[in-house]
Structure 1
Amino acid sequence: MDTALKGLKVLDFSTLLPGPFATLYLADLGAEVIHVESPSRPDLIRIFPPYANGQATSHSYLNRNKKSIALDLKDPQNIELIKSKIADFDIVVEQFRPEVMKRLGLDYSTLAKINPRLIYCSITGYGQTGLYKDKAGHDINYLALSGIVGHSGRQDSGPPPMGIQIADIAGGSLHAVIAILSAVIERQRSGQGQYIDISMTDCVATLNSMAAAAVLAGETKQYAEQSHLNGATYYDYYQTLDGRYLSVGSIEPQFMSGLATILELPILLEKGASFDATDQKLVKQALQEKIKTKTCTEWTSIFAQLDVCVEPVLQLDEALNSALAKQRQWVIDVPLAEQSTQTEPQLACPIKFSRSKMSYKHIGKKLGEDSF
């Protein structure tokens, strides 16, 4: 078996999370990724704790399979060096604010004159155009402006702080990978590269999907706990006797009926399908009272063999060591260096092919470990 993206070469100027996560996927899929970093201003991912095997775990994961080149982009000689090599590359990924690469002389229009087949992807918070293009931002800001947290959370406690970077990864990284690989396919027909403008806010806004479709069709604005899937119905989390939580997603009739039978809650059959707020409040109260009678372990054992869409809320360490994680190979042991027998456990690439394999050559390298 061979890797799916063998033969593609990527020049990666990105830092932090969005760009590096995108190029991690490309590298896992077999592309050769050269990561260009500043020799004097280290990527914060390199110093962000915790640490293992002498370096930051986030760096070791996000930069696995990649080569590390240290170049000062303010040095004109290094700019010329990059230009002399650009014809060898298929893809450029960068994550600076708009106009930075142009000032450096490494913008798409400049490099495309040297390599017309070049696919050039810029990832920013707000895109290359518009009033927000030069503003700083982080994941929490993109989620706020996209409308996602505006109809999430609880009315009494407000928008929920998320435990992962949704806009950075689902907005920036994964949309960038989709766009880049689409451009690679298009280039097979046209013979030409192209420029890709990825705004993390633009992309994460599309994750509103069903809620946005309803609002755009003229439905009432959907705030927290006012629509079917954001807390207005019994589709929710319920606390167990020991302070843990169960997720209850039994909204289809067959699952609702099964849950009502198991829990001996006829009110679920009587009012569960109702969109009346009072009815749903009564159903949720009944569910909470029932679920509070047993521990999470007891409920998990009861629901383990039942097909009613009820699952325990796991802590991350529990999830990564669960039977599901082991059966689906969520974690892979990655060599500390090529040919090394020492390994570090990391999240595996979740894509599974029937023929192509994944690449797990080594964890993230030391700064400037490779030459250009």
Structure 2
Amino acid sequence: MSGPLKGLRVVEMAGIGPGPFCAMVLADLGAEVVRVARPGAVPDPHDVLARSRTVLPLDLRDPASVQQVLDLVAHADALIEGYRPGVMERLGLGPDVCLARQPKLIYGRMTGWGQHGPLSHAAGHDINYIAISGALHAIGRSGAAPVPPLNYVGDFGGGAMLLAVGVLSALFEAGRSGRGQVVDAAMTDGAALMSAMMYGMKAAGQWSNQRGENLLDGGAFFYDTYACADGRFVAVGAIEPQFYALLRERCGIADDPAFNAQRDRAAWPLLKLRLAEVFRTRTRDAWCALLEGCDACFAPVLDWDEAPRHTHNQARQTFCTLDGVVQPAPAPRFARTPAAAPIRSTTATADEVLARWAPAASKAATA
């Protein structure tokens, strides 16, 4: 592997959702990630989140397997796990034990509710974690129920991404202090943090609790999606006056005085209906030919099959194919230390990994 994290060694305790996503991001950027999985685990090309890893099948009910993990920890920079609080401690792999073996270890913990608090031991999923942060309430149409935004906000944005930031921040600090630490990444915290701008706007009187009636939640007619003549959709986000003026010009409504009331919230519902009528007059491709690439803040709404074929995504190589599976390529881009293309995960034994991580110790053990 190559990339800015080349040389970083990470032990990943296999799980689902945000933990694997965080490990994938680290592996994409060059870290060597060893995934401790259940016995019999084999790499699955359809499990995109598990790419670019060394898979180490171990039965953690066996003390010998636990010892093998600790042997890896002794030569690792970081460990990430996504179990409920207390599980790693019961396995004999809690932070105190691991930090005793490797004092500079960064021990990343990924949970929904966090390591403490009245809900910390309860089961849950993304939808539950973003519900108590305020984020879920804000997503959806006016007068309708909140809409789950897939599992982007809790699992991946507020969870995995924040865990990656936390681990890398702690690694930076450990480089100065020589001491490791625990990173407690809770999806409830992360989802709340991602809502920072909205909390600020609400305090300023610029955002309300009324779902689907605000600037960025579909309330504004100039920041929404619209159906076209062929049933496909386009997205517009012409907030700034100059971009809104260009949208009006290209859509043929520049001379319609009704659309002068861009910032009149009382006029938004009617203008949304009016603009919807405009977009229904052409197919999505016709609108793309008219608006895509100009400053009207326009884009077609693409499905999973269309997105990898879009000319912009192809030019930037935003997607790649591994073992016949189309998937997002590593991001972000680095000028001097670019990340390599994702590779197929392979299985290994603990001894094989230790032969790479601690060759002198491995040779001594087999002598």
State the distance in 1 between where 2:272 and 2:204 align.
Answer: 29
Letter of the 1:116 partner, please give it: P
Alignment-derived partner of residue 8 in structure 2: 8
Residue equivalent to 1:303 = 291
SS in 2 for 1:317: coil
1:45-56 map, 5 Å = 55=44
Q: 2:143 maps to which residue? A: 156
The SS at the match of 1:130 is: coil
Matched AA of 1:303: L
Does the 8 Å contact 1:21/1:169 carry over to 2? yes
User: How far 1:74 moved relative to its partner?
Assistant: 1.3
Q: Tell me, in whole angstroms, the C-alpha distance in 2 between the residues paired with 1:241 and 1:261.
A: 20
Give the match for residue 358 of structure 2.
none
Partner of 1:289: 277
Alpha-carbon separation, structure 1, partners of 2:232 and 2:3:
42
With over 3 angstroms needed to count, the CA separation of the structure-2 counterparts of 1:285 and 1:361, relative to structure 1, is closer
Higher mean C-alpha deviation, range 298-307 or range 171-180: 298-307
Map of 1:354 onto structure 2: 335
Q: Report how far residue 25 of structure 1 moved.
A: 1.1
Q: CA distance change for structure 1 residues 81 and 354 in 2, over 3 Å: closer, same or farther?
A: same
Q: 1:13 to 1:198 in 2, by over 3 A?
A: same
Asked if 1:273 is matched to 2:263, the reply is yes
Say yes or no: does 1:85 pair with 2:75.
no
Question: 1:268 deviation in Å?
Answer: 5.5
1:305–1:71 Cα change, 3 Å = closer
Q: Offset at 1:361?
A: 5.8
User: When the two structures are aligned, how many residues end up with a matched partner?
Assistant: 347
Contact 1:5 1:29 in 2 (8 A): yes
What is the alpha-carbon distance in structure 1 between the residues aligned to residue 157 and residue 25 of structure 2? 13
Superposition pairs of residues 304-319 of structure 1, within 5 angstroms: 304-319=292-307
Query: How many angstroms does 1:217 deviate by?
Result: 5.1
CA contact (8 A) 2:142 2:213 kept: no
Deviates more, 1:297-306 or 1:247-256: 297-306
Query: Take 2:198 and 2:60, find their aligned partners in 1: how far apart are those partners?
Result: 44
Superimposed CA distance per residue, residues 43-98 of structure 1 (whole angstroms, 9 cap, x where no aligned partner)? 9xx7xxxxxxxx451x2x22222111111111112222222332111100011100
Contact 1:64-1:360 within 8 A present in 2 as well: no
Range with bigger deviation, 314-323 or 260-269: 260-269
Letter in 2 for 1:300: C
What displacement does 1:177 show? 0.8
1:67 corresponds to 2:54: yes
Is the CA contact 1:267–1:283 (under 8 Å) kept in the aligned structure 2? no
* 2:251 is equivalent to residue 263 of structure 1: yes
Mapped partners of 2:327, 2:277: distance in 1:
40
Provide TM-score, normalisation by structure 2: 0.89
Q: Displacement, 1:170?
A: 0.6
Q: Distance in 2 between matches of 1:206 and 1:274?
A: 30
Give the SS at the match of 2:52.
coil
User: Bigger CA drift: 212-221 or 237-246?
Assistant: 212-221
Equivalent residues of 1:242, 1:296 under 8 A apart? yes
Q: Which residue of 1 aligns with 2:29?
A: 29
Partner of 2:359: none
Alpha-carbon distance between aligned partners in 2 of 1:220 and 1:28, rounded to the nearest angstrom: 38
Q: Distance in 1 between matches of 2:245 and 2:71?
A: 67
Q: Distance in 2 between matches of 1:361 and 1:214?
A: 40
Contact 1:211–1:222 (Cα < 8 Å) also in 2 = no
2:167 corresponds to 1:167: no
Matched-pair identity in %: 34
Q: Secondary structure at the match of 1:311?
A: strand
Question: How many angstroms does 1:280 deviate by?
Answer: 1.1
Offset of residue 269 of structure 1: 4.2
CA displacement, residues 104-133 of structure 1 (integer Å, 9 cap, x when unaligned): 111111111121111000000110010110
TM-score by length of 1: 0.87
Does the 8 Å CA contact 1:35/1:67 hold for their aligned counterparts?
A: yes
| In structure 2, C-alpha distance between the alignment counterparts of 1:2 and 1:122, rounded to whole Å | 26
Distance 2:308 2:258 in 1: 33
- How far is 1:357 from its partner? 2.1
Moved more, 107-116 or 118-127: 107-116
Residues 14-44 of structure 1: CA distance to partner in whole angstroms, max 9, x if unpaired? 311211111111111111111001116x69x
Aligned to 1:133: 120
Post-superposition CA distance 1:297-318 (Å, at most 9, x none) = 1111111353211221111211
Determine the C-alpha separation between the residues in 1 that align with 2:160 and 2:176: 25
2-structure distance, mates of 1:151, 1:92: 34
Counterpart of 2:228 in structure 1 is 240
List runs of 5+ in structure 2 lacking aligned partners: 351-367
Alpha-carbon distance in 2 for matches of 1:329, 1:371: 34
1:164 Cα deviation (Å)? 4.5
Cross-structure match for 1:50: none
Gaps of 5+ in 1: 47-54, 337-342
Q: Is the 8 Å Cα contact of residues 106 and 180 (structure 2) preserved in structure 1? A: yes
Query: Is 1:94 the equivalent of 2:81?
Result: yes
When structure 1 is superposed on structure 2, of 138-147 and 3-12 the one drifting more is 138-147
Contact 2:8 2:31 in 1 (8 A): yes
Q: Distance in 2 between matches of 1:220 and 1:326?
A: 37
